[in-house]
Chain A
Amino acid sequence: MSKMKLNLGPQHPSTHGVLRLILDVDGEKILGCEPVIGYLHRGMEKMAEGMTYLQYLPTVDRVDYLSGFFNSFAFVSAVEKLLKIEVPERASIIRVLLMELNRIASHLLWLGTYLLDLGAVSPFFYTFRERELILNYFEKITGQRMMYNYFVFGGVRHDIEYLDEIPPIVKTIIEKLEDYEKLLTDNPIFLSRTKNTGVLTRGEALAYSITGPNLRASNSHLDFRTQSDLYKKFEFKIAKADEGDCYARYKVRLDEIRESAKIIYQAIDILQLRFGEINTGLKPLNLNIEAGEAFSDVETPRGLTTCCIKSDGSDKPYRVKWRTGSFYAVQLLPKLLIGNTLSDVMAIYGSLDVMLPEVDR
């Protein structure tokens, strides 16, 4: 067979965004891979320098549009550290509740699109149907389905409503998960596509700075939620698998949905019993932010997202730096793809749950 270069993307439907892969192939076998990123670059970091903190806040949801609450939270909590204000307890529990619902929505979308990549069409419709329940709820309380702009500096915009609608939604989703498992967990086609493909060991994952479900599928316990003050009140297990292959990543994400559901039930119990302030009433036009640096981190569905802000005391940030989980997952591709066949490219790439808007920012 003759060797050749194969250009995959940037408009390939399975890349979930625009990623270009330059593959060196020998017949079907992959000898080399070079990911080319930057097709979705919007200058989120540079844009911050020309906007005030209040103006920048709505745009933050677009860093990763499938998990808007997490990015909002990262930015808002960094600014709160600069402002040296405390968030009321009720507000922080509302934040946890919404973020965990968002995590379920994000994992459901991943499951649907991943199976679409592998050639199964019907699960795609089922997961989108369930995700719709969560998005409709978000629309009711925030006003929009994906670009929420609901967190403000010092709390949340409005008090949470329709709390009794959440348990039926979560219950439906957990029930439907069994349906998905019936379709997939023992399915011979799914197993042969995912088992023992794209194996990532724990050492390699840590060396490549991989975080989130991808790392936890490689026999690691690292979950930044356990180290955060926000989740101290909640009891949950860390979803984990040992094998490190595509199938392990699938299992970890499904388990994470179940663990998120536990956190949601606990959060609702607290919110129904305890009432209080939902924000600090801070509505000034010019926030008096002192010069300095602040850093915040949050465990998103795709790994660790951090936001670092440097302020020079003016009403605009001097510099905003984002660190997102997907950026590191793209770097893994040459490592995982070499030696596999062309048909495994999308099975491996899809299992990493890469969001291109998050990579390019």
Chain B
Amino acid sequence: MIKFFKSIKALLEGLFTVFKHLFKKSVTLQYPEERPNLPEKFRGGHTLSGCIGCGICQQVCPCRAINITKDNNQVVSYTINLRQCMFCGNCQYYCPVNAIKMEQNFELGTDSNDDLIKELVKENESGVDKQ
């Protein structure tokens, strides 16, 4: 009989613990309307500026996602294949001139596969005249 009342007490205590949560603030983030507050070190989409084309990022990349083309020691093309990239941040950490950076951009989905191969050298920045 004592055991029975003990069980009832434990069940009621449990119900009360759950019931308390009705009056607490919601913790869910209503994603498309509310944006997450991402930290500074977040590893998202890549940006490139001032690349010297040493190729260290290519060597440390576990997924072999980076491809660099050079012409007369100038970086003409720097592509990163986001289908392969695992966002480990090795390229950022081992870059000797801090050229490649991972930004807070995390919405990287696109309609086509080809769009996932990102060209990071902007036309006006490459040293070679493309015409």
Contact = CB atoms under 8 A, between A and B. Distances in A.
Contact of B89 (A55, A143, A185, A186): A143
B62 A56 contact: yes
A51 B60 CA distance: 9
Nearest to A128: B27
Interface residues of B, number: 29
Contacts of A335: none
A272 B14 CA distance: 40
Given A140-B41, A182-B17, A147 B86 contact: yes
Given A122-B18, A283-B94, A142 B60 contact: no
B14 A187 contact: yes
A58 B86 contact: yes
Given A59-B62, A139-B39, A188-B7, A54 B17 contact: no
B60 A187 contact: no
A187 B10 contact: yes
Contacts of A143: 39, 41-43, 89, 102
A57 B88 CA distance: 9
A149 B42 CA distance: 12
Contacts, number: 77
Interface string B7-28: 1011101100110010000010
A273 interface: no
Contacts of B38: 139
Which of A144, A147, A184, A185 has the most chain B CB atoms inside 10 A of its CB? A144
Given A51-B62, A142-B41, A285-B56, A147 B14 contact: no
A142 B6 CA distance: 47
Contacts of A187: 10-11, 14
B61 interface: yes
A129 interface: yes
B94 to A, nearest CB: 7
Interface string B70-114: 000000000000000011111001100000001000000000000
A314 to B, nearest CB: 14
Contacts of A58: 62, 86, 88-90
A147 B62 CA distance: 14
B18 A183 contact: yes
Contacts of A144: 42-43, 87, 89
B49 interface: no
B59 interface: yes
Contact of A285 (B10, B11, B13, B60): B60
Contact of B93 (A52, A126, A157, A285): A157
Chain B, interface SS category? helix
Contacts of B56: 285
A217 B102 CA distance: 44
B27 A129 contact: yes
Nearest to B8: A188
A169 interface: no
Nearest to A136: B39
A184 B17 CA distance: 11
A141 B86 contact: no
Contacts of B7: 186, 188
A144 B43 CA distance: 7
Contacts of A86: none
A235 interface: no
Interface string A163-197: 00000000000000001001111111000000000
B6 A147 contact: no
Contacts of A183: 13-14, 17-18
A10 to B, nearest CB: 25
17 contacts: A52-B59, A52-B60, A54-B90, A54-B94, A55-B61, A55-B62, A58-B89, A129-B27, A143-B39, A143-B42, A144-B42, A147-B87, A149-B90, A152-B93, A183-B17, A186-B9, A188-B10
Given A51-B62, A142-B41, 5 more contacts: A54-B90, A58-B86, A143-B39, A144-B43, A182-B14
Q: Which 8 A-B pairs have the closest CB atoms?
A: A58-B88, A186-B10, A188-B7, A143-B43, A143-B41, A55-B62, A140-B39, A183-B14
